[in-house]
Amino acid sequence: MRQYIYVSTAPNLSDESLDSILASCARNNAERGVTGLLLYNGRNFLQLLEGAETDLLWVMARISADNRHSGISKLEDSFVTDRACPDWTMRHIKLVENVDQRRQALEAELPAGLSDTMRRIILNFAALN
């Protein structure tokens, strides 16, 4: 099992676009056995994806070709024995408005099975304004 985490840039993406991305995730990730979580701060995405390597490559190829975002940059790529988000085909965790409260609010939402490295990366992203 593999876990990827990347960030990308998408200034001012509409709620409709985000909904359409999440609909694609629900369709394709369920079929491919890909799970994970997605954060959007109004300018940047952070996405954690987990699954078998061939399935992740398939999903990443589509994501990389998507012109709704750019500048995809992989932050971490690790082998794991268990999924951190087994029940989430792609959970969009909404960031709270107030940046000072984001870290704490997000911490309560993150799954227990995340490695310390992945958790730190995600929490650091949430603190960016």
Choice between 67 and 98, CB closer to ligand FMN: 67
Min separation Cβ 57 and ligand FMN, Å: 12
Half-sphere exposure of 2 (CA within 13 A, CB side): 13
Min separation Cβ 100 and ligand FMN, Å: 25
Q: What residue ranges bind ligand FMN (CB under 6 A)?
A: 8, 21, 24-25, 27-29, 45, 47, 59, 62-63, 66, 68-69, 90
Q: Where are the alpha helices (DSSP H) in the chain?
A: 15-32, 53-64, 99-109, 116-127
- Burial of residue 77 (CB within 10 Å: 0-12, 13-18, 19+) is exposed
DSSP 8-class letter at 69: S
Min separation Cβ 53 and ligand FMN, Å: 15
Q: Put residue 87 in one of left, alpha, beta given phi > 0 → left and psi -120 to 50 → alpha.
A: alpha
Choice between 28 and 41, CB closer to ligand FMN: 28
Residue 124 — φ and ψ, nearest 5°? -65, -40
Choice between 31 and 101, CB closer to ligand FMN: 31
Min separation Cβ 82 and ligand FMN, Å: 19
Choice between 59 and 121, CB closer to ligand FMN: 59
